[in-house]
Amino acid sequence: MKKLVALTLASLMLLAGCSSTPKNDGNEATPTPEAAATEADVIVVGAGGAGMTAAIEAVNAGKSVIVIEKAAMTGGNTTRSTGGMNAANTPEQDKNDFAEDAGVEKMLASAKENYPDLAELTATVEKQYEEYKANPTGYFDTEELFMLDTLVGGKNLNDHALVEVLANEAKNGIEWLKTIDANLSQVGSFGGASVKRIHKPVNDEGKTVAVGSYLVPKLTKAAEDKGVQFVMETAATELVVTDGKVTGVKAGDTTYTGKAVILATGGFAANTEMVLKYKPSYEGFVCTNAPGMTGDGIVMATAIGADTVDMEQIQIHPTVSQETSALITEGLRGDGAILVNSEGKRFFDEVGTRDAVSAAEVAQPGGFAWLIVDNKMVEASSVIAGYIKQGLTVEGADVEALAAAMGVDGAALVETMDKWNACVEAGKDEEFGRTSFANKLDEGPYYAIKVAPGVHHTMGGLKINTNTEVLDASGNAIPGLYAAGEVTGGVHGANRLGGNAVADIIVFGRIAGQQAAAYAN
């Protein structure tokens, strides 16, 4: 009976995205010997996506692992991720018909015009695209096009070696996720990607579900099943260095000792002081992050000589509800939603990069926009149903009623919607150059969400090499110290593409776990 209760509790906690080994609150029996351990081969700091992925891979390589997490639940910002994971050249993509010629051609033209330094990569992609057009089999995407999109999106500030690893390994990450029962089976369009590349989970009814709340319980369960020890509600404060090697972390009075340490503490978007230090212009912006994203890993590692990169590259996301700081996924725009201003008019290519869409939005009267979807979109996505349930939407049975609910001019919105639906039909948007259209917005009821930019992702962070070793100012690896996920910098350059954060945590989380385990031998 006792066991049954424990199991039920564990599964309930799992559903809530929690670890089933919470901190002893003093009301429980003596902790198990495992729960009291302070020594393991590998110590991971942070139980978000990158940390748990690293922990699982270190155990897969035969190592004992302790994960220290400052929150009461696993998941960090990863839990809040709604979109999906970018990966190129996957069997999931091949299930789609290729109709993204305009997207590829636009990217090739933009790369040629704006990024002569990327000429070689651009020529490779062009050749691949021509070969595909001569013999179209499957869906067209390549690791090189994924790289090109990421570099152009990141204004070519990215670390090319890290981007190459991201692009080459993401498809293996999609396969690896299947080993922990996570299947990102549906592929869609997303901002900054030339083709359908973002891989999303769907529920039993075939509706898209948010990727973070789908992955986190699965990562947590896999880590627990494999014997990873979670130490919850415990904030690491300092790295321990012995003879020039990182050999553990301190969390208050307790020292956790290991042969290697992996920092996976996420970014610093929730640390207003740190954000404003690098971007004073973001004063007053809301933040989409969980409160724990305060840059602790960056502080701890720089204190022992680690280098950082691109710290001033902080992303604002264009579709954030200002009242609740809730992020409205870019997937809605990828799946056909449009943005209109307070005059009921479209003003930009909705699937442009986040920095560009945010800037366009800020330039509108009042600095905000309305994101519009129709009933067909609602029926295909449990994510939108969630927004409706949370009270984030206004609605109308037809476009005029929606306009009244939004407080915008009815005739103007009707004209905008008619014009947009004609663009979808023609597959061409002459006014703003959007190239992905999905379906017409023509079935009531219609819904709109009021959005404006919010601080979302910190692209900068600890400098790492392709083995996820943390580097010092001279470019040397700090022995025993690894980092993965948003705590690191260089992968995303000046602007992170939607779908690349999950790719980052899975790809580099895996590498960190494998490398730290090899180092711990």
Nearest distance from residue 242's CB to ligand ADP, in Å?
20
Closest CA to 454 of 237, 224, 284: 284
- Closer CB to ligand ADP, residue 45 or residue 211? 45
Q: Which helix (H) or strand (E) holds 512?
A: helix 500-519
Query: What H or E segment, with its residue span, contains residue 462?
Result: strand 461-463
| Beta carbons within 8 Å of 334's beta carbon, 6+ residues apart | 188, 189, 190, 191, 198, 351, 436, 438, 498
Cα–Cα distance between 433 and 106 in angstroms, integer?
9
| CB of 254 vs ligand ADP, minimal distance in Å | 12
* Two structure tokens written together for 464: 């790492």
Are 458 and 315 spatial neighbours (Cβ–Cβ below 8 Å)?
Answer: yes
* Min separation Cβ 323 and ligand ADP, Å: 23
Q: Which among 172, 171, 153, 150 is positioned nearest to 161, based on CA atoms?
A: 150
What is each CA distance from 123 to 16, 145, 147, 157, 435, in whole angstroms?
A: 47, 10, 13, 20, 21
Give me the residue label for tokens 């479209």: 346
280 preceded by a cis bond (ω within 30 of 0): no
496 is a catalytic site residue: no
**Do residues 139 and 193 lie in contact, with contact meaning Cβ atoms separated by under 8 Å?**
no
By CB atoms closer than 10 A (0-12, 13-18, 19+), residue 30 is exposed
Nearer to ligand ADP, 174 or 502 (CB): 502
Catalytic residue among 80, 197, 354, 434: 354
State in angstroms the smallest separation of the CB of 176 from ligand ADP: 15
**Positions in the binding site for ligand ADP (CB under 6 A):** 45-51, 68-71, 76-78, 235-236, 264-266, 292-293, 296, 485-487, 505
Task: Give the count of beta carbons closer than 10 Å to the beta carbon of residue 245.
Answer: 15
Q: Which is nearer to ligand ADP, 299 or 477 (CB)?
A: 299
Distances (CA, A) of 327 to 39, 82, 510: 38, 8, 27
Residue of closest CB approach to ligand ADP: 48
C-beta of 79: minimal distance to ligand ADP in Å?
7
In this structure, are residues 141 and 88 in contact, taking their beta carbons and an 8 Å threshold? yes
**Cβ 480 to ligand ADP shortest distance, Å:** 18
Tokens of 123: 């020529």
468 φ, ψ (degrees, to nearest 5): 65, 20
Q: How far apart are the first and last CA of the chain?
A: 42
Instruction: For the CB of residue 33, give the shortest distance to ligand ADP in the complex, in Å.
Output: 22
Contact between 373 and 332 under an 8 Å Cβ cutoff? The reply is yes
Nearest distance from C-beta of residue 71 to ligand ADP, angstroms? 4
Tell which residue, 501, 260, 451, has the closest CA to residue 339: 451
Q: Active-site residue numbers?
A: 354
